[in-house]
Amino acid sequence: MTHAEEVDQSAPAATTEEYDDLRGQRLQKLLRLVEQGVDPYPPRFQRTHTAAEARLAFEQGGAGEVSLAGRIVSMRIMGKASFCHVQDGSGRIQLYFRQDVMGDRYQSFRSDLDIADFIGARGTLFQTRTGEVTLQVQEFVLLAKALRPLPEKWHGLTDVETRYRQRYLDLVSNETVRQVFQTRSAIVGAMRCYLNTHGFIEVETPILQPLYGGAAARPFETYHNALDRRLFLRIASELYLKRLIVGGLDRVYEIGKDFRNEGVSTTHNPEFTMMECYQAYADYNDMMVLVEEMLASIAREVLGTLQFPWKGHTIDLTPPWRRVTLREAILEESGIDYDRYPTADALAKRMVEARLTVVRGTPRGKLIDELLDTYVEPKAIQPTFLLDYPVELSPLAKKKPGAPGVVERFEGFVGGIEIANAFSELNDPLDQRERFLQQRADAAAGDDEAHQMDEDFVVALEHGMPPTGGLGVGVDRLAMLFTDQHSIRDVILFPQLRSQG
């Protein structure tokens, strides 16, 4: 909407009462400026420095005349001289306005501008009595009038719901929030850099899929009108990336959104960012090394160190990480050796003895997963690989030679969070078909997260896939870890919320 339309709506009732609110007062100022021929939203302004660049230039011996631009975040108006701070993407800098320097324009600053407006200002830099580098303004111009005020200057914006729903206010008023998202961006950048320099090529695979697969999860459904076809939003990119390995792209990766139709929590958002990579002629041991090196590389790049704080602990990403089999880890933390309970019933009975609540009929694989979640995951603060998972949980992983019922799979945990999941990829098409059939049986038995039979994928494997290591890394969780944020909503700009009541 243009301000002209606002005029039409409001002008007939332009009494003092009509403008007796914060937005109204600002609107009135805007209309007054328009009457004076001022464009409150001019198309451009040429600045010579950012706030940070200006400060640096001054400290390195003066910068002469500079032009700055930013949002007014505070004002101190005192008679014939005034100060304000403006904020741009690089930080804040103070502006100083004097009537004897600026003449009539000084009154305009006092009466036309508000906190939250964007302005551009030209002048020279100096240091105040207390040493703050400040721009003595010769001339300024309004760049964008704000009709609504900013959150309070001291406490900022703390209401969690408003922070998520109006993230821009959160970003304007909370410096640490800006830093978190800058760090997140740097993490993704460093991840790309690591993979690119290690021979991986970045690819993009379908988000709209006729069959969903690559993980155990319920999908979102959608519908394509022209094709008259039901489609699913992907829950993983795995099956498409492995088709590319079949096709001879020996090292591929994708960083993108997955969608899982599940509840929300401090560690789950329905759409989240996943990095998956696949490397031909590698196995899960190679992927472990890749995880160690990649995370160390990202930490060095983004944090400048391999040690960083997390929930009061100090995480140390220095390779190599601890390696322990899933069976040993669970035995160590719970005293339960699941190998001694080869059936679901026997294991469930043992877990009930350990005072765990067990839902009747839970498959053995899910029971083991529950032991992992309950006993091992919260303790895995320092980087840990758990390896060799039960085959029931991993329909896409290759069986470990000489170890019946076990697949070559690991999960990487840091800070008590699952960060990575990888395996030696199953490339035996006959075995893969059997696994899918088993999943179909699970689905028939009521498992609504069971894998679908993906005949097209099996055909791809029948054309031959080399031995391959595959890896998934949760980018949101990595961002949580590196920024010491304990809710996934604080590393996702616009987390999923209920519709507003």
Partner RNA sequence: GGGCCGGUAGCUCAGUGGCAGAGCAUCUGACUUUUAAUCAGAGGGUCCAGGGUCCGAAUCCCUGCCGGCUCACCA
Window 393 to 412, contacts with RNA (CB under 7 A): 393-394, 396
Interaction of residue 428 with RNA, rule CB under 7 A: no
Which residue of 5, 13, 37, 100 would you call a contact of RNA, by CB under 7 A? 100
Beta bridge partners of 255: 275
Indicate the residue type of 198.
H
Evaluate whether 299 touches 306 at the Cβ level (below 8 Å).
yes
**Helix count and strand count (H, E) for the chain:** 16, 18
Which residue of 50, 99, 108, 438 would you call a contact of RNA, by CB under 7 A? 99
Token pair in block for residue 201: 């090529």
Q: How far is the CB of 197 from RNA (least distance, A)?
A: 26
- Spatial CB neighbours of 182, under 8 Å, sequence gap ≥ 6: none
Window 44 to 63, contacts with RNA (CB under 7 A): none
Determine the interface stretch with RNA among 257-265, 285-293, 305-313, 317-325 (rule: CB under 7 A): 257-265
Interaction of residue 263 with RNA, rule CB under 7 A: yes
Strands 251-259 and 307-310: unpaired
CA separation for the pair 395, 440 (Å, rounded): 11
Q: Which is nearer to RNA, 302 or 400 (CB)?
A: 400
Positive or negative, the Cα torsion across 486, 491, 493, 495?
negative
Q: How far is the CB of 27 from RNA (least distance, A)?
A: 11
Q: Which is nearer to RNA, 302 or 321 (CB)?
A: 321
Interaction of residue 359 with RNA, rule CB under 7 A: yes
Evaluate whether 284 touches 410 at the Cβ level (below 8 Å).
yes
Which residue of 36, 154, 312, 446 would you call a contact of RNA, by CB under 7 A? 154
Interaction of residue 171 with RNA, rule CB under 7 A: no
Evaluate whether 303 touches 482 at the Cβ level (below 8 Å).
yes
Q: Which is nearer to RNA, 123 or 151 (CB)?
A: 151
Interaction of residue 80 with RNA, rule CB under 7 A: yes
CA separation for the pair 245, 234 (Å, rounded): 19
Window 480 to 499, contacts with RNA (CB under 7 A): 487, 489, 495, 497-499
Interaction of residue 132 with RNA, rule CB under 7 A: yes
Which residue of 35, 44, 357, 446 would you call a contact of RNA, by CB under 7 A? 357
Interaction of residue 443 with RNA, rule CB under 7 A: no
Q: Which is nearer to RNA, 229 or 349 (CB)?
A: 349
Q: How far is the CB of 196 from RNA (least distance, A)?
A: 24
Positive or negative, the Cα torsion across 98, 99, 103, 109?
positive
Cα dihedral 69→71→76→82 (10° resolution): 20
Token pair in block for residue 188: 């993704």
Q: Which is nearer to RNA, 6 or 301 (CB)?
A: 6
458 by DSSP, 3-state: which?
helix
Q: How many residues bind RNA (CB under 7 A)?
A: 77
CA separation for the pair 359, 366 (Å, rounded): 10
Q: How far is the CB of 330 from RNA (least distance, A)?
A: 16
Interaction of residue 175 with RNA, rule CB under 7 A: no
Interaction of residue 366 with RNA, rule CB under 7 A: yes
Interaction of residue 262 with RNA, rule CB under 7 A: yes
Indicate the residue type of 354.
A
CA separation for the pair 42, 142 (Å, rounded): 8
Strands 271-280 and 468-474: antiparallel
Q: Which is nearer to RNA, 91 or 306 (CB)?
A: 91
Cα dihedral 219→225→228→233 (10° resolution): -20
Interaction of residue 209 with RNA, rule CB under 7 A: no
Binding mask 287-326 for RNA (x = CB under 7 A): ----------------------------------------
CA separation for the pair 402, 69 (Å, rounded): 68
Which residue of 66, 68, 187, 216 would you call a contact of RNA, by CB under 7 A? 216
Q: How far is the CB of 229 from RNA (least distance, A)?
A: 25
